[in-house]
């Protein structure tokens, strides 16, 4: 298959975006694809799901002058998965400090065919730099274009290095400069949603913002990019959405959930797809609905594996094992649906 990149994004937090990214990455790998997961959220939640604290401590133990000199570090004893100075923040640090272009970093191999470009809390320092450079790109400022395309070029290099079939990009829940740079690097955008007012409001903000970013980049910036310089197309094609079901409780009536659920297709079609007659489309843009698997999460966290890979030895006993099987079927269906949508958009 042709390599494709998918950003998972919702500018409302707490809908399970990172959990979705993590499980999709593992499911795609189980389906035979080579996967690169990219953590562009300054909170580094995806990294904390993929690596243990010892590995993260080693990963974040770096010094900027070593990055500038291109020095190498030895692998963490016993794992060989991570090295100091190998995060997204380290890759863009030379740009941030004015010492050069992106630094070369290597993704961590989580298992054969599954790789992680790790995040870092230090990435938040890049926000102001990206914000200041955005409007300079409209004037063809090469340094500004180099800064704004940094994520694209880091991810492109890493994906080529591991020969990835699919790239999953996890971003934070906001419409700031880091997310803008991350999203313009994505071919498509998958939106996890909760059936509530906040997700609907998020969709209303997100759709016009994506169109504005796409239009500005494609019309004002791309024509000024020097020949041979790798810049993203900023396609950011909406792939569809995934409904993340809440945990139903007595104090949260099912009627309230259904009411918001019924409004999502219209808001998505109108705000995200900019359709003039959104009422006719039905719910064809919903790729899947995933139930709440909160009871499996503690087991998965302790076992450091996806919920659908839990075994009896991990504590998934009796009825819990049936729940694990249901989880597998739902995520398998979601992964197949996502691949089908990407193929449709590529035609």
- The per-residue pLDDT for 256 is 76
257 pLDDT exceeds 90? no
Please check whether residue 179 is in contact with residue 148, taking contact to mean a CB–CB distance below 8 angstroms: no
Which tokens hold the place of 214?
Answer: 């796409």
CATH architecture of 4-294: 3-Layer(aba) Sandwich (3.40)
Please check whether residue 346 is in contact with residue 14, taking contact to mean a CB–CB distance below 8 angstroms: no
68 pLDDT exceeds 70? no
| Residue 243 parent element (H or E) | strand 237-244
Task: Kindly indicate the confidence band of residue 9, based on its pLDDT and cuts at 50, 70 and 90.
Answer: very high
Radius of gyration over alpha carbons of the chain, in Å?
A: 20
Which tokens hold the place of 303?
Answer: 């076992």
* C-alpha closest to that of 3 among 168, 171, 238: 168
The residues that bridge with 118 in the sheet, in sequence order, are: 87
Question: Whole-angstrom Cα distance, residue 268 to residue 278?
Answer: 8
Task: Kindly indicate the confidence band of residue 74, based on its pLDDT and cuts at 50, 70 and 90.
Answer: very low
Q: What phi, psi does 193 have (nearest 5°)?
A: -130, 145
Q: What phi, psi does 118 have (nearest 5°)?
A: -75, 150
| Residue 28 parent element (H or E) | helix 17-30
Query: pLDDT tens across 33-56, in order?
Result: 999 999 999 999 999 999 998 899
Degrees (nearest 5) of the Cα angle 126, 130, 135?
A: 170
Which tokens hold the place of 199?
Answer: 């997700």
Question: Whole-angstrom Cα distance, residue 323 to residue 290?
Answer: 13
Task: Kindly indicate the confidence band of residue 72, based on its pLDDT and cuts at 50, 70 and 90.
Answer: very low
Question: Whole-angstrom Cα distance, residue 36 to residue 84?
Answer: 19
Q: Across 57-101, where does the E strand assignment appear?
A: none
67 pLDDT exceeds 50? no
Question: Whole-angstrom Cα distance, residue 94 to residue 107?
Answer: 18
Express as a percent the part of the chain with pLDDT over 90. 73
Please check whether residue 11 is in contact with residue 206, taking contact to mean a CB–CB distance below 8 angstroms: yes
Neighbouring C-beta atoms of residue 203, cutoff 10 Å = 23
Question: Whole-angstrom Cα distance, residue 195 to residue 253?
Answer: 12
Question: Whole-angstrom Cα distance, residue 80 to residue 67?
Answer: 20
DSSP string, 124-165: GGHHHHHHHHHHHHTTT-HHHHHHHTHHHHHHHHHHHHHT-S
Sheet holding 286-290, edge to edge: 108-111, 114-117, 35-39, 166-170, 4-8, 188-193, 237-244, 286-290
Query: pLDDT tens across 149-193, in order?
Result: 999 999 999 999 999 999 999 999 999 999 999 999 999 999 999
The residues that bridge with 241 in the sheet, in sequence order, are: 191, 286
User: Per-domain residue ranges for the chain?
Assistant: 4-294
Question: Whole-angstrom Cα distance, residue 285 to residue 308?
Answer: 25
335 pLDDT exceeds 80? yes
Task: Kindly indicate the confidence band of residue 251, based on its pLDDT and cuts at 50, 70 and 90.
Answer: very low
Cα–Cα separations (whole angstroms), residue 269 to 187, 263, 340: 19, 10, 19
């Amino acid at each position: 298959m042709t390599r494709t990149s998918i950003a998972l994004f919702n500018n409302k937090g707490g809908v399970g975006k990172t959990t979705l990214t993590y499980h999709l990455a593992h499911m795609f790998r189980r389906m035979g694809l080579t996967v690169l997961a990219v953590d562009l959220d300054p909170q580094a939640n995806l990294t904390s799901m993929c690596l243990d604290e010892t590995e993260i401590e080693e990963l974040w133990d770096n010094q900027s002058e070593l990055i500038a000199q291109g020095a190498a570090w030895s692998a963490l004893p016993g794992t060989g998965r991570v090295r100091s100075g190998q995060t997204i923040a380290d890759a863009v640090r030379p740009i941030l400090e004015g010492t050069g272009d992106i630094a070369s970093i290597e993704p961590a191999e989580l298992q054969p065919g599954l790789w992680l470009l790790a995040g870092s809390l230090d990435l938040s320092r890049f926000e102001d730099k990206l914000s200041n450079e955005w409007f300079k790109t409209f004037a063809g400022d090469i340094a500004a274009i180099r800064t704004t395309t940094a994520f694209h070029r880091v991810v492109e290099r890493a994906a080529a290095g591991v020969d990835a079939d699919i790239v999953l990009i996890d971003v934070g829940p906001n419409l700031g400069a880091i997310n803008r740079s991350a999203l313009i690097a994505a071919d498509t955008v998958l939106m996890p949603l909760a059936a509530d007012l906040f997700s609907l409001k998020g969709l209303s903000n997100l759709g016009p913002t994506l169109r504005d970013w796409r239009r500005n980049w494609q019309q004002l910036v791309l024509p000024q990019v020097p020949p041979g310089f790798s810049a993203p197309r900023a396609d950011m094609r909406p792939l569809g959405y995934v409904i993340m079901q809440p945990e139903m409780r007595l104090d949260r009536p099912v009627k309230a959930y259904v009411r918001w659920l019924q409004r999502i297709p219209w808001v998505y079609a109108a705000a995200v797809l900019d359709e003039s007659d959104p009422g006719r489309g039905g719910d064809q843009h919903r790729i899947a609905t995933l139930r709440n698997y909160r009871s499996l999460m503690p087991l998965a966290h302790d076992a450091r594996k996806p919920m659908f890979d839990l075994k009896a030895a991990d504590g998934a006993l009796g009825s819990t094992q049936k729940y694990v099987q249901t989880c597998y079927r739902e995520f398998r269906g979601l992964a197949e649906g996502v691949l089908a949508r990407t193929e449709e958009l590529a035609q």
